[in-house]
Structure formats: structure tokens, C-alpha cells
Chains A and B, each alone.
Chain A
Amino acid sequence: GNSVTQMEGPVTLSEEAFLTINCTYTATGYPSLFWYVQYPGEGLQLLLKATKADDKGSNKGFEATYRKETTSFHLEKGSVQVSDSAVYFCALSDSTNAGKSTFGDGTTLTVKP
């Protein structure tokens, strides 16, 4: 079956530091990959996505590249802000599995001024 493994948290960084949150996956088909962000007290927002190998998703300074050879989709940002403090979820959706999403456990990021 499908699975997503995320870097364990929590992660604490100083403002303007470089961020990497690792995500690897296993899937039976050809999944689409997603990063979602959940700010305190809110629902999930789609942060970025990639639908095929070598695609790069980007949004709000965050980037992630779909690496089929390493089955990875690591989230990066060059300079984090306090407002980036949130829980980040890596997920995949497999069209052969009727679009169901499989989620990682989530990584809590805290950015300190």
C-alpha cells in the first residue's frame, strides 16, 4: 500500500534560517505529491504540489521537487519567517486508488525571532 514518511519534529529555527523538511514515499501507481500547511487553529491549506517526476512545486517561497529515483519530495525554504510557524504535512494522491490521499505524520515548525 501507499505510505508517506516525514522527518520527525518538532523543528525549531531562527528567523531567516534555511528550512528542509524531508519526505519520502512509497506508492503502487504514479502519485501526485503535495505539501499542506496547518496554521494554529485552522484547517489544511494546499501549499504546493507536483504531479509528475522532476516537477517542482513552489509557493510563498517554499519549494519541493518530485524525485522519482529517490521517492522523495523534500520541502525547502531559503529564509523562514515567524509567520511560517505551523504544522506541515506531506501527502500523496494516487489516481489508481481513486484519488485517496495518504498523509505523513506532520512536522511542527516553530520559527523564533
Chain B
Amino acid sequence: SAVISQKPSRDICQRGTSLTIQCQVDSQVTMMFWYRQQPGQSLTLIATANQGSEATYESGFVIDKFPISRPNLTFSTLTVSNMSPEDSSIYLCSVGQDSGNTIYFGEGSWLTVV
């Protein structure tokens, strides 16, 4: 199974600032995704991180707010821009293997915006 490392694991951020979350996978993967889990809620897909091209965003999420990079097949970043308390969530990196038959998650990045 893929081993996914996320940094930071936790952070407390000031309103109006931006934070970049890193996701490193121990093997090359085609499919890489970013999810958000708001307190007490289920997971919502933010975007698919495409290697070498712009990310594909889900409805309700935009590049200006959540810019994503994917420079290679093992690494991606998600930036949460101009944060507000509503952005306080767990942000999870996910990878798909076996043509999507197996999906793994990182431990998540727990962000609190004050």
C-alpha cells in the first residue's frame, strides 16, 4: 500500500494568511486528490491534482482560494489562501492505485483559523 506523508500535521493560522500543505507519496501514482473534512462532517473532494497541468476543481472550489501544484508523480501541494475561520478543517491528501480500486489517505492536516 502507498505511504502518504502530509505536512504540517496541525497548525493554528491567523485570519487572512495563507498556508501550504505538502503531500509526499512513497511511490509514483497517477491519481492524487485533495479532500476537506469540516468539523463533524464527511469528506468533500476539493480537486484532482493533475501531474504537469492545472488541477481539476469540484463545484464550489476555485483555484484562487485553493491553488494546487503537482510537479511530479509523487508530490503535491495545496494552498489555503486568505484563510477565514470557516476554513478550519482537516485537509486530506488521497491517492488512487489499481485504476481506482484502492484509495489511500494521508493522516491529514488539521488547520484551525483564529
Residues on A close to B: CB < 8 A? 32, 34, 36, 42-46, 49, 51, 89, 91, 93-95, 97-101, 103-106
Contact = CB atoms under 8 A, between A and B. Distances in A.
B42 A104 contact: yes
B87 interface: no
A93 B106 CA distance: 17
A106 B42 contact: yes
Contacts, number: 65
B93 to A, nearest CB: 10
Contact of A98 (B43, B100, B105, B108): B100
A92 B19 CA distance: 30
Contacts of B33: 99-101
Contacts of A51: 101
A98 B103 contact: no
A49 B100 CA distance: 12
Contacts of B103: 32, 34, 46, 91, 93, 99, 101
Contacts of B48: 98, 100
B50 to A, nearest CB: 10
Contact of B107 (A34, A43, A49, A103): A43
A8 B3 CA distance: 31
Interface of B: 1, 31, 33, 35, 41-43, 45, 48, 90, 92, 94, 96, 99-108
A70 to B, nearest CB: 21
Contacts of A49: 101-102
Contacts of A91: 103
B31 A103 contact: no
Residue from A32, A42, A93, A99 with most neighbouring chain B CB atoms (10 Å): A99
A34 B100 CA distance: 11
A36 B105 contact: yes
B108 A32 contact: no
B96 A89 contact: no
B42 A100 contact: no
A93 B104 CA distance: 11
